[in-house]
Amino acid sequence: MGIAKFTKTLLFLSSVFFMGNGVVSADTQTGGFSNATGSNQNAVIVKNLDQLKNAFNSNQHHIIISGNIYGGNKPVTFTFADKKWDNTTIEGQAGTGPTLVNIQLKFDGEMLPANQNISNIVVKNIAFKGNISDLQKLTGNDIQPGGSGVNYEGVSLRRINNAWIYNNDFHDMSDDLFSVSLQSDNVTISNNHFWFSNEWLNMNPNPNWNWIGDWHDLATERLTMVVGANGSDSYVQGGHKMHVTLHDNWFGPNIKGRPLLRGYVHAYNNYFDNSSQPTGNNHAGFSQQQYNALQIGSGSYILSENNYFYRTNNSHLVGLDKKGDAYKFLERNNVYNQVTGTNAQSNANPSDFNLPYHYNTLNGSNIEKQVIDHAGPFK
């Protein structure tokens, strides 16, 4: 990591003070609901897929990714599925271009007893990307529900408590780039870059896949993130969990839609970048236009403040699983520059949101510059 970038990032993070339930020390401030520190074990450095598999199979809790690791011509998933994975850090080694290609990290506590989860997870400083030519060649079960292609994300958090995902790059994957679901709680997602390349946008051939019983083209699947799998897995209906903070993330360019938020979500200092403004139809004949930037989902409490929306379409859009589903939404101090479509109206009051931490907000065009300067892996 360059000294200048390292210093800027530490100063940026240290300007936020976490308070409330579980006051944390300066080195664990995340600017949000999480106070995760990850592993305190000795680290193991991995440089290829076999070494990564060996580290995973030997239950290494602190894994450092060095250089580019290719998962193969089908996406491969590493599933961290029980309590032995509490207190885990997966991070990239600065200066090596740490990249996981066709590889998903899935932290999944759904098979644990109902009162248990996997806790204290840190993922940082890694580029997650799909290999487009590999994905275009997938067939059969791989492109239908449950298949390796249609479930391919960078990081998935399922019934996880206390996770910090920061300074990563997520692009060109065939499901959402990232997800938080199954009553996960206390998650901070900060200083990441979520985007799709022009190669993805204009892919040819552009095959049809079946994600949830509905066949459509792969290039249109340009979705960033989901928080809450459905209405029953929301803050309101799911036991008042799903506390998630999104701050200082760079969403775009070439995003079709989302994040779709069904949790208790505080989104601040994010840059929603639709500078490319895709128009027209892709090679399968489907519209390339963005349908929304941020989606307010069923059972959510959403506080959106001091974000920068640039050329976005439908900057905040209410999209519910069922008509009449409850939600609360408050927006304040956001910047809208050359936006199109509509923008949802607030229906909540500041008193509806009780945040157990202090945070510093950015203002005006400074949001764009600061977010871009600090988003993604360290150099």
Q: pLDDT tens for residues 95-122?
A: 999 999 999 999 999 999 988 999 999 9
The overall average pLDDT reported for the chain is: 92
Structural domains of the chain sorted by starting position, each given as residue range(s) with its CATH number in brackets: 3-374 (2.160.20.10)
Nearest-angstrom CA–CA distance, 26 and 363: 24
Instruction: Summarize the confidence of residues 259-274 as an average pLDDT.
Output: 98
Nearest-angstrom CA–CA distance, 213 and 266: 32
- Statement: residue 37 has pLDDT above 60: yes
Contact criterion met (CB below 8 Å) for 53 and 81: no
From the number of C-beta atoms within 10 Å of its C-beta (0-12, 13-18, 19+), residue 138 rates as buried
Instruction: Summarize the confidence of residues 307-331 as an average pLDDT.
Output: 97
pTM exceeding the 0.75 threshold for the entire prediction: yes
- Statement: residue 238 has pLDDT above 50: yes
| pLDDT digits 0-9 by tens, 334-344 | 999 999 999 99
Which amino acid, residue 112? L
- Statement: residue 60 has pLDDT above 90: yes
From the number of C-beta atoms within 10 Å of its C-beta (0-12, 13-18, 19+), residue 25 rates as exposed
Q: If phi over 0 gives left and psi between -120 and 50 gives alpha, with beta otherwise, what is residue 13?
A: alpha
